[in-house]
A and B are shown apart, each in its own frame.
Chain A
């Protein structure tokens, strides 16, 4: 148990569907992150939230829309995705941020394996 949970663990969706990924952290952290992990590529930071305020959006396409209603929950809303968006989407948290990076170690959730048909 890492203290960070993600649902669903697997998701298959068509390009016209709308779905949401959910992340919850039980660690009392103030910062949360969305990453995209594709095979044999570095982790790509998508969004960073610190105290529920977005501090970073790395030029992510608008078909990905994050939401952070409180410091324990993070959502990633998906619509009209493309097949190249198929990847593992990881959520992480840390006690705080320094700039857009973590102030210390990050705790990751198990990820959502997304397949876009």
Chain B
């Protein structure tokens, strides 16, 4: 079966760095998405990786290793507004989008 694994919940301190991991086992791979979802709001797009390596976008970076079936989202200089759920999703070989259950990130002052 197809599976996306993310930690259920993480806690970090304002101003620090946090890494949210995502491992996947899918039938093929055509790209990986990260979305942010604040409580009671719509998910919003953060990043898309299809090639191995690190993509940096301001305070957020996303890394992909296709050989390891692994990605992470790195958040630097954490702010209170970064408290949200972070969703990992993989496009499989049939271009079906497989979603993880999300990681709830709690930022403490």
Contacts and interface: CB of A to CB of B under 8 A. Distances in A.
B96 A110 contact: no
Nearest to A44: B99
Contacts of B8: 40
A105 interface: yes
Interface of B: 4, 8, 30, 33, 35, 40-45, 48, 87, 89, 91-92, 94-102
Contacts, number: 55
Interface of A: 2, 4, 40-43, 45, 90, 97-102, 104-111
Q: Is the interface of A mostly helix, strand, loop or mixed?
A: loop
Contact of B33 (A40, A98, A105): A105
Contacts of B94: 99-101
5 contacts: A2-B42, A45-B97, A97-B95, A100-B95, A110-B40
